[in-house]
Structure 1
Amino acid sequence: MTDRPTSPWPLPLPPGEEPPIPPLSVWSTGQRDPAAQLRNSGCVPGTDADTDRIPPAVAAYAIATHTRPGDLVLDPDCGAGTVLTEALRAGRHALGLTARNRWWTLARANITAAKTAGAWRDGSVLDARPKVLATIRAAGLVGRVGLVLTALRTTPDEPTDRAPSPDRDPDSAIAELAATLTYCEPLLRSGGHLVVVARPRRHPDGSLVDLTTPLIAAARAAGLAPVERCVALTAELRGSRLVNRASLAERRAAARARAAGTPTALTAHHEVLVFQLAHDAELADAAAVDIPWSTGDQVIRPAVNGVKYPGWRRAA
């Protein structure tokens, strides 16, 4: 994690004044181990193969915090579909996209399992890449999505009969996600949120990769403003003590690092960044410090599917 985002704050600041740090909060989302979370969510066998998945407890917390019943939750790169399952279980509509056949099959099975267990909201997963959201096929979604919730994915999708390849370079994964954020920005309703979840990555020397700074920069380039930076625990919180739930692979990697003379701590969290439409954040900040804001001022966003619209007047 970084101490301070480098991107500018939406409101103009007096000369020499530093932009504020997005508020930091801790989510107690590691009280159950990963296998128990998948069981409790009714996920089908094989879901755990998606190592970049958003843990069900993290997805459930984000959905409960940033949506209302009946809202539409979108995961533009949904993997095995844990976000979709939790959205349906919470009484939200769910839409996911993935171009990976393996994940599409699992995500569809998880949606079916959630509906069989009693979820009655609409849920679907499309065999498509995120760029389809920038086409006429997504025209009906403009201004309607209450929450975009997605993960930074660096694990390559490999056939099951081959040994897994090393993680992709985080820079290329962030560049791909940056394009996805651009596709998603016009779909958010006024007051909606976009949440990115990233599990920590390490450099070859064992130090943590700074994911926060480039993710905030990518979001700002897409017309989004950071409003919160969170730590979603993957370790159980027992009083004042953390009980780590690291996987066997992570523990072996830490043991190898110690043997090589570079002690490495086991990670106990996922990084979570929360964004809003930039003009929504500006209005909220202006209201917070009692700055008058003319109702005649409209923020006209770039044309989407040939239609221009005033962003701050989008339907709630």
Structure 2
Amino acid sequence: MSDHSTSVWPTGQHGPRAQLREAGCVAGTEFDRERIPPAVAAHAIAAWTHSGDLVLDPDCGAGTVLTEALRAGRHALGLTVCKPWWTLARANVTAAKTAGAWCDGSVLETRPKMLATVGAAGLVGRVGLVLTALRTGPEGDLTESVVAELAKSMRYCEPLLRPGGHVVIVASPSRRSDKSLVDVTSLVVGAASAAGLTLVERCIALAAEVRGNRLAAVADRQAPHREVLVFQLTHEVVLAASAVSPSRLRGYGFGRRAA
């Protein structure tokens, strides 16, 4: 529906373990192999939130997003159905608070569908950023069911966004059994579209150190880079586009006189 920009993030200046140490993450966080690296989480939070905003990770794993949100002066809420991750995420939230974070941080052991219940009514219109990783299945495969679950999560999160809020999905490269690359972007964009979201920016988060104009050795060989897909509510994107070119609204069925 709209043009989107592309950018490259220099988020690989330090290796995975060094990032965890700098973020003050507790031992065991490194076992969450599909976590969003702290440098990537910090970059996204700085780019798309303000002080005091609420950051939500509906599949938070060991809680690196929550830690970086608290360190940046944002409130944080994470969900996970995995008991070990819940324990680690809580420990990471506690560590951030002990280190001086003043905002609220919570971790719930529950599924994202909880966000669509009466119990989450107080979150409607309050979330500045939904930031989560595209996590694969038990065998590490990016299956249809994995994408379907992501689509459900985004639908649950959509009503919670404040005006101007963003949904950011971080995905590692994925290969099929024949070693061919999966078109992760199309899968995620399709899931987001079904949830009423439109892609506004596509970024590459590097896992290699940048030295001058060159890349040094890759720090994270399991995922040499991550794709970061940024979405906003479709109706907000359409209205923003109309401010630049009113004629674009007519292409979406708006601005027509009644018969």
- Within the candidate set 229, 233, 246, 2:206 is matched to 233
Give the Cα–Cα distance (whole angstroms) in 2 for the partners of residues 171 and 244 of structure 1: 30
- Within the candidate set 59, 65, 69, 1:83 is matched to 65
1:40 — aligned with what? 22
> After superposition, where does 1:281-292 map in structure 2 within 5 Å?
281-289=237-245
Could you say what secondary structure the match of 1:132 adopts? helix
1:6 — aligned with what? none
1:173 — aligned with what? 146
Give the Cα–Cα distance (whole angstroms) in 2 for the partners of residues 98 and 69 of structure 1: 25
Give the count of matched residue pairs.
Answer: 249
Matched, 1:275 2:231: yes
Give the Cα–Cα distance (whole angstroms) in 2 for the partners of residues 231 and 49 of structure 1: 23
Q: Which runs of 5+ in 2 are unaligned?
A: 255-259
CA contact (8 A) 1:26 1:232 kept: yes
How much does 1:281 deviate? 0.7
Larger radius of gyration: 1
CA contact (8 A) 1:88 1:120 kept: yes
Matched, 1:134 2:107: no
1:152 — aligned with what? 134
The structure 1 segments of at least 4 consecutive aligned residues displaced by more than 4 Å after TM superposition are 290-293
Give the Cα–Cα distance (whole angstroms) in 2 for the partners of residues 41 and 104 of structure 1: 18
Give the Cα–Cα distance (whole angstroms) in 2 for the partners of residues 49 and 173 of structure 1: 20
How much does 1:292 deviate? 9.7
1:106 — aligned with what? 88
Cα RMSD, aligned residues only: 1.6
Q: Which runs of 5+ in 1 are unaligned?
A: 1-8, 11-19, 157-165, 251-266, 299-316
TM-score relative to the length of structure 2: 0.92
1:96 — aligned with what? 78
- Within the candidate set 172, 182, 199, 2:172 is matched to 199
Give the Cα–Cα distance (whole angstroms) in 1 for the partners of residues 132 and 143 of structure 2: 16
2:190 — aligned with what? 217
* Aligned sequence identity (%): 64
Matched, 1:246 2:212: no
1:306 — aligned with what? none
Could you say what secondary structure the match of 2:181 adopts? coil
Could you say what secondary structure the match of 1:230 adopts? strand
Q: When you count strand as a share of all residues, which structure comes out higher?
A: 2
Give the Cα–Cα distance (whole angstroms) in 1 for the partners of residues 34 and 72 of structure 2: 22
Could you say what secondary structure the match of 2:170 adopts? strand
Give the Cα–Cα distance (whole angstroms) in 2 for the partners of residues 108 and 174 of structure 1: 27
Give the Cα–Cα distance (whole angstroms) in 1 for the partners of residues 27 and 143 of structure 2: 28
Give the Cα–Cα distance (whole angstroms) in 2 for the partners of residues 92 and 285 of structure 1: 29
How much does 1:289 deviate? 2.9
How much does 1:239 deviate? 1.8
CA contact (8 A) 1:232 1:272 kept: yes
